[in-house]
Amino acid sequence: MPETAECARRGKGDAESNLSAVVTSRMLFDGLELTTGVADLGDADPAWAGIYSPRYSDATVARYIHGQFLEDAGVYLARYQATPYWMSLLTEAQQHFSLVEREGPLRILDLGSGGGNTVVPLLDLYPDAELVASDLSLPLLKALRATLAERYPKRRVPVLQQNAERLLFAPRQFHLVVGGAILHHLRSPARTIAESARILRPGGVAIFFEPFASGNRLVAAVFQALLDLDGGRAPRRSGALPRELRSFLAAASRLPAASQRLSPELARTLDGFCRDISVRSNMNWLTVRLRRRDDKWLFDREFFAAAARRVGFCEPAIFGLTNRPKRFAEHIRAIVRLALGPNEGAFPPWAAEIIDAIDECLTPETRRETLIEAGVVLVKS
């Protein structure tokens, strides 16, 4: 039986539980106050031992996460597990904040922990911290639990099933909250930002790493231009393209038509990305098709500034995650590599020439303001 079916079979409702033991806060960490009881799921099934949960119903889980985090969790982990990359991001993020002086250990809550992309670096960066790893997906938490047991057998790291939009902790419990690529999956990212402010102590820090609209719209516009050129058409005008890049693509359209076409698989990948960015740019979570998507949102600076003001954070510090000279070209190839693999997604020479020239066409100001992915640091007043 798939793991998600096991979860459904165990779940009888959020308020009801036939598990024998309810966990007190002391079983997570001394002095850590929860707002609801949680239990070790291993009491009912040893396969889930070491995962604490308020025992969400299967219907509740299904409202917030879908296939790639449940029955396809193994595929998700194989595709996106990259702890060295996240170590570099978290190390860079440390340059943008300082933690307040405190009595007792540093207390960290990791949101959307998945297989441990941010948990593992945090444990190495803060060896004396008390860290709680959390996710709504039990299959991902099971994989994380195995990783922690192997890599940190003597480190106490509670693994908690938790909805990031309704955190289980009392106010002012943590010094640091980290969410690595979680907000764009949520129904209400602003609610999670507000919840993070609630559970942080004064001077506490929340860090999120998220996709931004400006850079992804630019990439989608480049993809559409490649599709147009591949079809023998002049690239259509797009407001997502800065003027200098529009001029470059207009010149490229006068080049002789290449005999090498985009492969059907590559063309479908580019078109799919364009459609995905179009939907996510809508930013309307009430639409049914958006609510059922795993990747829902693209962000901008204004969203985080407004969300921070509403809940008592200072003005956010926002920094690009990819500042290398060829960041747009590298990101485009990474998108295709994730979708098709390293060999199947090769661009024909004429398209590769255009992609390699994108970064050189952009002015320093455009490069600075056009974010593909960014880190966001929020400090509680």
Whether 290 has a pLDDT exceeding 90, the answer reads no
Burial-class residue 325 by CB neighbours within 10 Å (0-12, 13-18, 19+). Answer: exposed
Bridge-based pairing state of the strands 51-53 and 107-111: unpaired
Whether 143 has a pLDDT exceeding 70, the answer reads yes
Whether 19 has a pLDDT exceeding 50, the answer reads no
Mean pLDDT, residues 133-140 taken together: 98
Question: What φ, ψ does residue 130 adopt, rounded to 5°?
Answer: -95, 115
Whether 18 has a pLDDT exceeding 60, the answer reads no
**Same domain assignment for residues 242 and 166:** no
Ranges of H-type helices in the chain: 3-10, 58-64, 73-80, 83-93, 119-125, 138-151, 189-199, 213-230, 243-252, 264-280, 288-291, 301-311, 327-340, 349-361, 364-369
Mean pLDDT, residues 233-246 taken together: 84
**Same domain assignment for residues 101 and 234:** no
Whether 210 has a pLDDT exceeding 50, the answer reads yes
pLDDT for the residue 258: 53
Question: pTM here?
Answer: 0.90
- State the residue for tokens 């479908």: 268
Question: Who wins on pLDDT, 289 or 112?
Answer: 112
Domain count, the chain: 2
pLDDT band of residue 29 (cuts 50, 70, 90) is confident
- Of the three residues 184, 211, 238, the one that is the final residue of a domain is 211
- CATH number, domain at 94? 3.40.50.150
**Same domain assignment for residues 222 and 205:** no
- Of the three residues 176, 211, 246, the one that is the final residue of a domain is 211
- Of the three residues 211, 245, 269, the one that is the final residue of a domain is 211
CA-based nearest residue to 173, from 143, 146, 209, 201: 201
**Same domain assignment for residues 257 and 160:** no
Domain holding 7, by residue range, is 3-211
Burial-class residue 337 by CB neighbours within 10 Å (0-12, 13-18, 19+). Answer: middle
Mean pLDDT, residues 101-113 taken together: 93
* CA separation for the pair 78, 142 (Å, rounded): 15
Mean pLDDT, residues 173-192 taken together: 96
* CA separation for the pair 60, 79 (Å, rounded): 26
Whether 69 has a pLDDT exceeding 70, the answer reads yes
Q: Give the helix/strand (H/E) hosting 376.
A: strand 373-379
Mean pLDDT, residues 233-250 taken together: 83
The sign of the dihedral angle between the CA atoms of 368, 372, 375, 381 is positive
pLDDT band of residue 14 (cuts 50, 70, 90) is very low
Reduce the DSSP state of residue 208 to 3 states and report it: strand
Whether 234 has a pLDDT exceeding 50, the answer reads yes
The DSSP letter of residue 86 is: H
